[in-house]
């Protein structure tokens, strides 16, 4: 199976960023994609004006693209931040202010997956207190996601690029997923399996797939090294996606790679146009 019959979507926060936000859905559609995902687009505020939210909704609808995944507010991303929900003080407050805004916007466009990046360790803060704050905020986020019929995603990043982020392995993220589900009783917290980040951590990707597919709510890919398109590095992404399908994964696969020194529209030559529309 490999790349055939996958449900791909394009992450518009890493691809097509040479264009203004509101032009990216149409660019993805022109490249043959019908599904997209986004990090929180307004890094400067967790609570943008209603007019900005409405404009993004209109851009998605006009392009005929379905938003399948959205991050909650996560600070300066891309940049030094790796989330906000476990950061005491203003950042945690900003995350909480964002919960209902993000969930309501997701509901308005039919998005059913919300990603909550955990947040960096902070100098002078007790890690145990950060973890308690994280669980408290994740419970709030899981309840908001459940209100709109969505899943809450918890993602592991990689230690080389995110040395202060505590969830740098699949088991670490799964532990948080389990704690959230135990606290809420909702069962809607899921693992975001990013094969690039996990490979950067040196994990056995086949073992991760076999162990955690049942708890996985979304998958993202990029090749390694370089975080480029499939075929630019050494990962057998076609084989890994095939293994995921055989393990029972039927969700979307997010294309979260860098286009390199070319326009984003030229960074999909590895994938026939007929296989780009989500099924």
Q: Which of 37, 91, 155, 203 is catalytic?
A: 155
Cα–Cα distance, 111 to 1 (Å, whole number): 26
256 counts as catalytic: yes
Cα–Cα distance, 34 to 16 (Å, whole number): 15
Q: Which of 37, 91, 203, 256 is catalytic?
A: 256
Cα–Cα distance, 252 to 194 (Å, whole number): 12
**163-166 contacts: CB < 8 A, separation 24 or more?**
164/82, 164/120, 164/121, 164/122, 165/82, 165/83, 165/118, 165/119, 165/120, 165/121, 166/86, 166/118, 166/121, 166/127, 166/130, 166/131
155 counts as catalytic: yes
**17-23 contacts: CB < 8 A, separation 24 or more?**
17/264, 18/263, 18/264, 21/56, 21/59, 22/55, 22/56, 22/59, 23/59
Q: Which phi and psi angles does 250 have, rounded to 5°? A: -125, 10
What residues are annotated to the active site? 155, 256
């Amino acid at each position: 199976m490999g790349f055939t019959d996958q449900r791909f979507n394009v992450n518009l926060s890493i691809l097509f960023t040479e264009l203004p936000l509101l032009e990216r859905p149409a660019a993805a559609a022109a490249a043959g994609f019908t599904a997209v995902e986004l990090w929180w687009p307004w890094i400067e505020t967790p609570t943008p004006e209603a007019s900005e939210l409405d404009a993004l909704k209109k851009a998605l609808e006009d392009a005929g693209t379905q938003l399948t995944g959205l991050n909650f507010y996560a600070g300066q991303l891309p940049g030094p931040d790796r989330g906000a929900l476990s950061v005491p003080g203003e950042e945690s407050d900003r995350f909480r202010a964002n919960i209902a805004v993000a969930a309501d916007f997701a509901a308005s466009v039919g998005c059913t997956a919300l990603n909550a990046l955990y947040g960096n360790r902070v100098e002078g803060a007790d890690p145990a207190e950060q973890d308690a704050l994280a669980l408290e905020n994740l419970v709030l986020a899981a309840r908001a996601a459940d209100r709109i019929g969505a899943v809450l995603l918890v993602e592991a990043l990689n230690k080389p690029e995110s040395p202060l982020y505590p969830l740098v392995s699949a088991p670490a993220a799964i532990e948080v997923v389990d704690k959230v589900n135990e606290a809420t009783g909702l069962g809607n917290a899921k693992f975001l399996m990013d094969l690039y980040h996990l490979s950067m951590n040196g994990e056995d990707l086949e073992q991760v797939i076999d162990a955690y597919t049942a708890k996985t709510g979304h998958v993202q890919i990029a090749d390694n090294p370089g975080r480029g398109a499939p075929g630019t590095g050494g990962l057998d992404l076609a084989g890994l996606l095939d293994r995921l399908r055989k393990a029972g994964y039927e969700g979307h696969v997010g294309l979260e790679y860098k286009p390199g020194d070319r326009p984003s529209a030229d960074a999909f030559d590895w994938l026939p146009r007929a296989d780009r529309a989500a099924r």
